[in-house]
Amino acid sequence: MIRRPPRSTLSSSSAASDVYKRQLLHRACCCTAVTPPPVDLTHVENLVALVESRRMKRRADGPADDPVVEEQASFCRAFNCTLRTVWDKELKLIARDMNDMSRHPLGKAGVDSEGRLVIPLAQFDPRQPQHSTPGCATILVPAGVGQGGRIWPTIPLVCQYIQNLFAGCDQLPSSCRMLELGAGMGVCGLYGACLGLDVTITDNSQLLMELALKNIELNSNMFMSAQPPRVLFLDWEHKLETSPGRFHLVVASDVVYDGVDIGLLWKVIDTHLSRELGSQFVLGHQKRCDPEETDVLFVSFCELSDVLGFELVCEHTWQDFFVYAWIRKRTDPPNLEPASEE
Q: Is the per-residue pLDDT at 231 higher than 70?
A: yes
Asked if residue 187 lies in contact with residue 211, where contact means CB atoms within 8 angstroms, the answer is: no
Q: At what angle do helices 44-61 and 296-307 cross, to 10 degrees?
A: 150
pLDDT the model gives residue 282: 97
pLDDT the model gives residue 80: 92
> Confidence band (pLDDT; 50, 70, 90) for 291?
confident
Kindly report the number of other CB atoms within 10 A of residue 227's CB atom. 10
Asked if residue 203 lies in contact with residue 179, where contact means CB atoms within 8 angstroms, the answer is: no
Distances, alpha carbon 138 to alpha carbons 69, 129, 337, in Å: 20, 14, 47
How many helices and strands, by DSSP H and E, does the chain display? 8, 13
**Mean pLDDT (the chain, rounded):** 79
221 three-class SS: helix
83-122 residue pLDDT tens:
999 989 999 999 998 888 888 888 888 988 888 899 999 9
CA–CA distance, 261 with 299 (Å, rounded to integer):
14
Identify which of 29-33, 140-144, 150-154, 264-268 has the greatest average pLDDT: 264-268
CA–CA distance, 226 with 230 (Å, rounded to integer):
12
Q: For residue 337, give every residue at least 6 positions away whose Cβ sits within 8 Å of its Cβ, in sequence order, or none.
A: none
Average pLDDT over residues 281-308: 90
pTM: 0.79
CA–CA distance, 282 with 316 (Å, rounded to integer):
11
Asked if residue 300 lies in contact with residue 260, where contact means CB atoms within 8 angstroms, the answer is: no
Backbone angles phi, psi at 199, to 5 degrees: -110, 140
Which amino acid would we find at residue 297? Answer: L
Distances, alpha carbon 282 to alpha carbons 28, 65, 174, 285, in Å: 11, 31, 19, 10
What's the alpha-carbon Rg for the chain, to the nearest Å? 21
59-81 residue pLDDT tens:
555 544 444 455 567 889 999 99
Asked if residue 169 lies in contact with residue 180, where contact means CB atoms within 8 angstroms, the answer is: no
